[in-house]
Structure 1
Amino acid sequence: MALLSQHYGGSVPGMMKAYSSLASATNGKTSVSTSMSNKGSEILADNIPILLEDSDHGHGCNHVIYHYASQVFASLRPANRTDKLVLDVDLRAGKEPPKLTAIKDERAKRKVYDLAFATLKYQPLLEDMLVDSGYYGYDTVPDENHGVIMVILCDMLNRRFAKRLPQLNESVIPYVQEFEDDLFRHTTKLNASLARNRIKFQARSVECLLPEKVREREECGTKMPIYAWVNQLKNSVEEVTDHLIEDGYSKVNSVNSLGEYNFTLDTQCPNIMVFDAQNRNALEDSYLVRNGSLIIQAKSCCLGPHSVKSLLNEGDDVIHVYTGSGWTTDHLSTLTSQEHSTVFAFGVKNEEHQEQLMANAKKLGINNIKFLLENFFEVQHLDSRFKNVKVVLVTPKDSRSGVTNPVEYIIHEGADASILRELSQEQVDTDKLDVLVSQHMELLKNAMKFPRVQAVVYSTSSIFKEENENVVTKVTEYINARMTGKNAFRLIPPVLPLSPADLEEQPSSKFFKKPPSSTMGGCFLSVMSREDESMSASDVLARAAAKGLCSIPAPHGDDHKPKKKTSKTSQKLLPKSASSKKEKKGAKSPKIGGQSSDHDHGVPVKGPSLLVKKPSSKRIRPIRTASLMFAHHFTNHSNTERQQPYGVPMTKASLVRAQPKVEIILPHQESMYHPKPFL
């Protein structure tokens, strides 16, 4: 209270009473329950109410929100944001953001983080207003009540200095009430100071006073639609669609057509539904969300599980590092449940966190996740528990520079509240970024050391090249330089159905990168695969067709006769010289340019772009595959297109004439049809 005493000449009207009330409440000597309406809430030891579930239905802030928002702000505020005010750094030393365990209501918790984040963004402006208006003296040093004053002033700025209307049965905290009344008495001077700042910086609105990067991120966050994935262990996508239509929602064709009570299906992840941002409260209160049929989560967190699903075979297990709130692990489990896979989740903080994660998984009907309290760096790679682990999903604690709505990221992903401080500033802490990069590289190196791991999926919410491309490139080179007697890792594009517009945005075909926008937060996704080079092209096609990545129709009709079983078994019985002669004889296969000829399977089939033979100045030669070595010798059906007589052998001359035109495939289009890289 020293600063206010100096401002009022040694006497602060009404403020000392508030400070004494706070001190007595903190010591637990005096009860303020007589000045506080406690209906629908409980009281903590320091006489601060507990907000239970569904206890906050108002549209504004109250004293409990002011109290906890001031604690969050005080623990995250930078040392100096204005030259006119000197903050006591010792007040912030050793403080961590509160966990808000006393707030059970999710909407009230969202209001606390929203107010604290807004105060951090406008901190230079608010502190300048306090000094310029005369509320603070130029020679004062703020004390522990500075956070309460700042959050109340920020809320006044949001409602344009209109008087706050108390909510029905609102809990009143005496010290907060005293500061609120005193700031309201200075409304005229504070408003005049705001006007002078706008004139000084030629700002059309208060938002224009923010740094450019912070303002752009805020604009994207306000327009961001709501993404929710369908828990297919409870309901299918069709059943959820029918439920939404019964509840008054209507389905539209694209995200750009979303409006109130509209939804659409995502084009990249088939089990994700997209809603308009203004339907958040109605969606959270719906039966589908409350019973676990629909899980609200950012789309950038859902791309990793979908990429892992395309890499798994039946019986393969998965390791997930780190689990966080558990929703990404649960999503991965629901996608891989039909593969009879087990998901090992690392990153569990303590037993309480483990119980919470297990309770959420049980609510969703999941029973194939093992939440481990062990440190990921301390587990044995040859442990029998991980003998079937083929894929590792790494979602590290990154800089979150691609997040556009940090409050929702904290609530749904269980992130630390320190993200509010990082995203409220325009500058990047390079020292912290270097530490994160080092941690990410160690995580990937440890994941690649599991002997049977065939692929590592790396997913971040960062837009920095240092955390993304540089990490996966350096780690892959490091591991390959130290591997002996094993197939090397290489970067391959994630298997995601991307639109042509998405492909044009990709800087490389080896990974998927998305900048922050009004439709989706920024993210990065890459796959490091240990591919079996001895795998034949027909195996790649068959595996890709099994996953729905390309179509290879089976022979039909009476004209299609089964082939003689001489391709593999007879080659084993033949001597080495005879086998080599057969290979030379079979070099005339007409499979060229990623397309198989019509005497291959009956109709032309476009294969994955990975197998496309790029045109060159030399003569184009057909690609030989092991399973179709002799398929070019005879035609099994009439072909009017190439005018080849039925049953007549294909000569070398006719084969050259029958070669189709080579289709030029750009490098960034390979990610559309890239097949699964291993057995």
Structure 2
Amino acid sequence: MSLYLEAAAILESPQTTSLKAIIYNPSKPFKSPQSKLYALIVETLKFQDILKEVVENAGILKLERKLTPVLSILLTHDLLLTKSGIATSSGPLKDAILRHKARLNAEFTRVRLRRGHGDVKSLVEAVNAEHTRESEDGVTKTATGLTTFNPRWVRVNALKTTLGESLASPTFSAFQEVGGMSDMFFFDVVRKYYYPKAELLPNIFAIHPSHDITSSELYKSGKIILQSASSCLPAIMLDPPKGSTVVDGCAAPGNKTTHLAALVGSSGKVFAVERDKRRADILERMIMKAGAEGIVTTLKATDFTTITEGHPAWQASYLLLDPSCSGSGILQRIDWDISKLNLPSSDVSSGQPSRKKRKRDEASQKGSRSQPEEQVPQHVDDEEVQDSDTSKERLQSLSDFQVAIILHAFSFPNARRITYSTCSIHAEENEHVVARVLNNKIAKERGWGVQSREDNPLSTWHRRGLVGELSDLRVSSKEQQRVADGCIRVNRTDSLGGGFFVVCFIRQVDDEGQLGGDIGNLDVALAQGNESLSQELGASIEAGDQEWNGFSDEETNEAVPAADDPQLGKGKRRKSGKDQKARTEKINKRFQKNRKGWS
């Protein structure tokens, strides 16, 4: 019965984020399988108007005091609309429904016939067609009246296939290319269109969010990855050459890591650093599914700031840093609005409610009026409004941690390029961090600066950094403008999957091709109190990270097969996974916990 009780608890709680996020990223784990919980709630929401009418006409709430309105429609749904019936053994709640099975079936038949459907199949098809787009059609109006499109972005995994092969596959062969994002929206029927932006996003294209491709062979085999376009920008901007060595300093859950692996190819090497063991386990499954286990070495239970001389990753030339941030740029999709649940009343069949019931209802309504914010959560898309739970103190703490991460990356002896990114719209985590690290003596002595706009692969993107937020950068106003132009901002209204910031730091090279500065006697621990800042990493496990769901920014961790999943293949691939694990363990066992450096 826990399935129905947990579903009822979710439906009776205020909704502040998407239903998928509530179920698949809970603060406390559910007893019930998450996929079953999600399916039960979604299907009940689809049929809620019909179920309300059936329950009210049958009058069972007046007769069964143990049943709540929410439980009544959940249980009635499974009784009437699933082949297996109510998914639980006998108990008081199930018995309360089964006692009225004949009456509920009779009322369901009347409801179906009144809607003009000769059989149950016809009714189900009609309801499914009505909810094809769920309540998320991919078009949002912001608080300022702007229209933004929220498509589903697909990244082709170049380790396993090509863009042409993917588009020619059964999954996409019927899709037609369109020249603009808006061409996929505003139709009475969702059409099979895709929108590429090749000059900015190679091997990446958008489709309407109603198209569910997670059951396709392409997705299950790791040939395509659902990843927001904005989170693809750091790897594109880093642009590591084929065969190069790259470090992903904050790697889990693995979307950016596998993107890097595809860019450096089979002759390259990626060190994926993850401090949290649970997230590192997810990271390894992602790597296996993407076919990147021969390229990526996972550094589990490793703090990026402890990688120093002697570690093989210390010689990397390219680093990608996407550390913990406020997550203020993340789009909070409300895929199903449970706040508008249409529940049955227990008083319809009796005509007059009891006095006891009326008093309880009046008290409940009075309580609701006193706290309207909790009952009707507000959803704001205004780009300039800060998250209500993001304090200046929290932003400063995150900023300090982000600065420490970058300064440590600056000390890598062979580093040539470093990208720093956040899914935040706050300048404290973006331009202010850039100014702080460039003002630091480490950057000056090592020859680090911001790559100019004309030199980076994303030069055509129109929205750049905010020069007004670089006033603390101790350079000329002309140089401040150049630095701002080298930074990229993505607003939540830009249709790339959420607010984002990314900048590429480059190291000066002299006439003989030598990198600027040398390691000298610089303290590689860096950045004032690095111990406490490392602890901040442990406390900030990126609960709001837009990529927490792994290969799909929208799907669940359950969609990622375990390392021994038969879909991953047998023989050679399985063997390579073991080789990768052995290689990882060999490196990790040298790591001394709670110490800087390596043994």
Normalising by structure 1, what TM-score?
0.46
1:97 aligned residue: 27
Q: In the alignment, is residue 264 of structure 1 matched against residue 190 of structure 2?
A: no
Q: In the alignment, is residue 445 of structure 1 matched against residue 375 of structure 2?
A: no
Q: In the alignment, is residue 363 of structure 1 matched against residue 289 of structure 2?
A: yes
2:437 aligned residue: 475
Q: In the alignment, is residue 307 of structure 1 matched against residue 198 of structure 2?
A: no
Distance change in 2, residues 1:335/1:104 (3 Å):
farther
Do the aligned residues in 2 keep the contact of 1:506 with 1:513 (CA within 8 Å)?
no
Do the aligned residues in 2 keep the contact of 1:381 with 1:451 (CA within 8 Å)?
no
Matches within 5 A, 1:267-346: 267=198, 268-279=200-211, 281=212, 283-309=213-239, 312-337=240-265, 340-346=267-273
Q: In the alignment, is residue 236 of structure 1 matched against residue 178 of structure 2?
A: no
The one of 402, 406, 411 equivalent to 2:329 is 402
1:7 aligned residue: none
Do the aligned residues in 2 keep the contact of 1:220 with 1:518 (CA within 8 Å)?
no
1:512 aligned residue: 488
Deviations 1:160-203 (A, max 9, x none): xx9999642344697999999xxxxxxxxxxxxxxxxxxxxxxx
The one of 527, 535, 544 equivalent to 2:504 is 527
2:561 aligned residue: none
2:589 aligned residue: none
Distance change in 2, residues 1:353/1:448 (3 Å):
same
1:373 aligned residue: 300
For residues 383 and 113 of structure 1, what CA distance do their matches in structure 2 show? 53
1:434 aligned residue: 396
Matches within 5 A, 1:606-645: none
For residues 322 and 14 of structure 2, what CA distance do their matches in structure 1 show? 26
1:65 aligned residue: 7
For residues 259 and 214 of structure 2, what CA distance do their matches in structure 1 show? 18
For residues 96 and 450 of structure 2, what CA distance do their matches in structure 1 show? 61
For residues 531 and 377 of structure 1, what CA distance do their matches in structure 2 show? 24
2:54 aligned residue: none
Q: CA deviation at 1:100?
A: 4.8
1:48 aligned residue: 2
For residues 14 and 254 of structure 2, what CA distance do their matches in structure 1 show? 24
Distance change in 2, residues 1:262/1:443 (3 Å):
same
Q: CA deviation at 1:73?
A: 7.4
Q: CA deviation at 1:526?
A: 0.4
Distance change in 2, residues 1:470/1:503 (3 Å):
closer
The one of 328, 340, 347 equivalent to 2:274 is 347
- Sequence identity percentage: 17
Do the aligned residues in 2 keep the contact of 1:71 with 1:97 (CA within 8 Å)?
no
For residues 327 and 317 of structure 1, what CA distance do their matches in structure 2 show? 18
2:472 aligned residue: none
Q: Which moved more, 1:268-277 or 1:255-264?
A: 255-264
Q: Which moved more, 1:354-363 or 1:486-495?
A: 486-495
Matches within 5 A, 1:111-122: none
Q: CA deviation at 1:304?
A: 0.8
2:318 aligned residue: 391
1:564 aligned residue: none
Q: CA deviation at 1:254?
A: 2.3
1:456 aligned residue: 418
Q: Which moved more, 1:424-433 or 1:496-505?
A: 496-505
Q: CA deviation at 1:378?
A: 5.2
Q: In the alignment, is residue 495 of structure 1 matched against residue 465 of structure 2?
A: no
For residues 378 and 27 of structure 2, what CA distance do their matches in structure 1 show? 13
Unaligned runs of 5+ in 1: 1-46, 50-61, 77-95, 116-147, 181-213, 409-420, 537-679
For residues 384 and 504 of structure 1, what CA distance do their matches in structure 2 show? 35
For residues 248 and 341 of structure 1, what CA distance do their matches in structure 2 show? 36
* 3-state DSSP of counterpart to 1:253: coil
Distance change in 2, residues 1:453/1:497 (3 Å):
closer
For residues 232 and 178 of structure 1, what CA distance do their matches in structure 2 show? 55
Q: CA deviation at 1:516?
A: 0.9
For residues 142 and 505 of structure 2, what CA distance do their matches in structure 1 show? 33
Deviations 1:544-567 (A, max 9, x none): xxxxxxxxxxxxxxxxxxxxxxxx
- Stretches of 4+ moved more than 6 A in 1? 69-76, 110-115, 162-166, 172-180, 217-222, 421-425, 503-507
Do the aligned residues in 2 keep the contact of 1:226 with 1:274 (CA within 8 Å)?
yes
Q: CA deviation at 1:318?
A: 1.0
For residues 32 and 218 of structure 2, what CA distance do their matches in structure 1 show? 26
1:216 aligned residue: 142
Do the aligned residues in 1 keep the contact of 2:252 with 2:280 (CA within 8 Å)?
no
For residues 114 and 477 of structure 1, what CA distance do their matches in structure 2 show? 56
Partner amino acid, structure 2, of 1:337:
G
Partner amino acid, structure 1, of 2:246:
V
Distance change in 2, residues 1:503/1:439 (3 Å):
closer
Q: CA deviation at 1:265?
A: 1.4
Do the aligned residues in 1 keep the contact of 2:248 with 2:270 (CA within 8 Å)?
yes
For residues 428 and 394 of structure 1, what CA distance do their matches in structure 2 show? 25
For residues 5 and 162 of structure 2, what CA distance do their matches in structure 1 show? 43
Distance change in 2, residues 1:65/1:223 (3 Å):
farther
Q: CA deviation at 1:359?
A: 2.9
Q: CA deviation at 1:387?
A: 4.4
Distance change in 2, residues 1:75/1:288 (3 Å):
closer
Distance change in 2, residues 1:443/1:247 (3 Å):
same
Unaligned runs of 5+ in 2: 19-25, 45-66, 98-139, 185-189, 336-376, 381-385, 469-483, 514-599
Do the aligned residues in 1 keep the contact of 2:328 with 2:423 (CA within 8 Å)?
yes
Do the aligned residues in 1 keep the contact of 2:450 with 2:486 (CA within 8 Å)?
no
Higher Cα radius of gyration: 1
Q: CA deviation at 1:226?
A: 0.3
Partner amino acid, structure 2, of 1:263:
Y
Distance change in 2, residues 1:166/1:333 (3 Å):
farther
Partner amino acid, structure 2, of 1:386:
A
* 3-state DSSP of counterpart to 2:419: strand
Do the aligned residues in 2 keep the contact of 1:72 with 1:97 (CA within 8 Å)?
no
* 3-state DSSP of counterpart to 1:343: strand
Partner amino acid, structure 2, of 1:476:
L
Q: CA deviation at 1:442?
A: 1.4
* 3-state DSSP of counterpart to 2:503: strand
For residues 110 and 458 of structure 1, what CA distance do their matches in structure 2 show? 38
Q: CA deviation at 1:510?
A: 1.9
Q: CA deviation at 1:405?
A: 3.1
Partner amino acid, structure 1, of 2:318:
V
Q: Which moved more, 1:387-396 or 1:369-378?
A: 369-378
Q: CA deviation at 1:465?
A: 0.6
Q: CA deviation at 1:466?
A: 0.7
Distance change in 2, residues 1:243/1:492 (3 Å):
same
Deviations 1:211-266 (A, max 9, x none): xxx98389999941000100112111011111157653222222221152211212
Distance change in 2, residues 1:532/1:271 (3 Å):
same
Q: CA deviation at 1:496?
A: 2.8
* 3-state DSSP of counterpart to 2:429: coil
